């Protein structure tokens, strides 16, 4: 009986520790990770470009309010990126334990982000469900331009490239042809969007697509993997650098939580991409 009681207490303690980690400590944490990505059609002059990705902020989710956002902004600026992209889902809907934060308040904190090539955003499904025009106006009021199936030409050291924003796969038109019609020369193309499920449908030329939405599944069990990934492709586009038929995709694990306020072995992350010249043509 004594041994059985010790085992039961031990199991309860482990369950308590894991629960605290998954529902408190990991969601409240903040880290950054640098990825060195060799990508095609990315010239020597552009090699080394540093792109910070702030995906799925979901400000207002548990342990992820405006104070945490200030930490995210400070960390991002410390990384000294050349370019910052925010691929959607700034707001929350109905996260247990969460508190709605107005996009105007979020945008005010994001206005402190700094990068030589600017801060650019596209909307996610939660932003559209709230009010896409309101979220767009809040961001653009503080100088963060929203690329709605649009393109802008940027330059690094005199070498041009295009930044193309594709609207959300679930809730917006995601008109890639319309966006690419604005690309007027053969300079390299860097795309970003909210939902990676659009990736297999893109037939235009591009060096890399950056996305979020999946949160890396939020939970990754040893041996079992990621049980719930909000994608029609399941774990295929769950997280990280994916290459299919020579086409490159990067999916960030993001910073907030959605549906359930839990993260386990998928910590909130500012993803810093160092884009490198590749031998691919």
Maximum distance among all alpha carbons in the chain?
Answer: 77
Instruction: Place 22 in a pLDDT band, splitting at 50, 70 and 90.
Output: low
Question: Which structural domains are found in the chain, ordered by start?
Answer: 2-277 (3.60.21.10)
* 25: its two tokens: 């400590």
pLDDT score of 20: 61
pLDDT score of 255: 98
**What is the dihedral sign for C-alpha 174, 220, 54, 206?**
negative
Rounded Cα gap, residues 54 and 10, in angstroms:
39
Instruction: Place 139 in a pLDDT band, splitting at 50, 70 and 90.
Output: very high
Give the Cβ contact number of residue 222 at 10 Å: 6
Share of the chain above pLDDT 70, in %: 91
DSSP, residue by residue, 77-122: HHT--SEEEEES--S-SS-TT-----HHHHHHHHTT---TT-EEEE
Rounded Cα gap, residues 253 and 177, in angstroms:
27
Rounded Cα gap, residues 186 and 119, in angstroms:
23
pLDDT at residue 19 tops 90 = no
For 8-22, 30-44, 185-199, 254-268, which range has the lowest pLDDT when averaged over its residues?
8-22
Whether 213 contacts 174, CB under 8 Å: no
Rounded Cα gap, residues 268 and 215, in angstroms:
9
Whether 49 contacts 82, CB under 8 Å: yes
Rounded Cα gap, residues 129 and 124, in angstroms:
9
Scanning the structure block, which residue is given the tokens 């105007």?
Answer: 104
Residue 232 CB partners (closer than 8 Å, separation 6+):
197
pLDDT score of 18: 54
Instruction: List, for residues 190-218, the tens digit of each pLDDT value.
Output: 999 999 999 999 988 999 999 999 999 99
Scanning the structure block, which residue is given the tokens 């300079």?
Answer: 187
- Which residue has better confidence, 186 or 228? 186
pLDDT score of 227: 81
- Which residue has better confidence, 158 or 210? 210
Tally DSSP H helices, then E strands, for the chain.
6, 12
Residue 114 CB partners (closer than 8 Å, separation 6+):
77
pLDDT score of 260: 85
For 14-23, 45-54, 86-95, 139-148, which range has the lowest pLDDT when averaged over its residues?
14-23
Instruction: Place 21 in a pLDDT band, splitting at 50, 70 and 90.
Output: low
pLDDT score of 154: 98
* 143: its two tokens: 């100088």
Instruction: List, for residues 120-129, the tens digit of each pLDDT value.
Output: 999 999 999 9
Single pTM value for the model: 0.94
pLDDT score of 203: 85
């Amino acid at each position: 009986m004594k041994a059985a009681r010790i085992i039961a207490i031990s199991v309860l303690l482990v369950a308590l520790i894991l629960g605290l980690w998954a529902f408190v400590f990991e969601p409240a944490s903040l880290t950054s990770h640098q990825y060195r990505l060799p990508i095609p059609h990315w010239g020597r002059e552009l090699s080394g470009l540093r792109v910070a990705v702030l995906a799925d902020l979901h400000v207002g989710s548990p342990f992820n309010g405006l104070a945490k956002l200030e930490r995210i902004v400070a960390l991002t600026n410390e990384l000294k990126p050349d370019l910052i992209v925010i691929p959607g889902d700034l707001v929350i809907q109905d996260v247990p334990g969460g508190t709605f934060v107005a996009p105007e308040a979020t945008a005010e904190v994001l206005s402190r982000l700094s990068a030589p090539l600017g801060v650019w955003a596209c909307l996610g499904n939660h932003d559209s469900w709230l009010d896409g025009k309101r979220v767009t106006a809040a961001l653009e009021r503080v100088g963060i331009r929203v690329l709605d199936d649009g393109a802008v030409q940027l330059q690094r050291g005199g070498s041009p490239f295009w930044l193309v924003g594709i609207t959300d796969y679930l809730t917006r038109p995601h008109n890639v042809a319309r966006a690419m019609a604005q690309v007027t020369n053969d300079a390299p193309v860097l795309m970003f969007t909210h939902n990676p499920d659009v990736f297999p449908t893109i037939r235009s030329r591009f060096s890399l697509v950056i996305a979020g939405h999946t949160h890396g599944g939020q939970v990754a069990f040893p041996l079992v993997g990621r049980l719930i990934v909000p994608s029609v492709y399941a774990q295929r586009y769950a997280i990280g650098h994916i290459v299919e038929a020579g086409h490159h995709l990067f999916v960030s694990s993001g910073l907030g939580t959605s549906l359930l306020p839990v993260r386990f072995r998928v910590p909130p992350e500012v993803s810093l991409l160092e884009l490198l010249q590749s031998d691919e043509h």
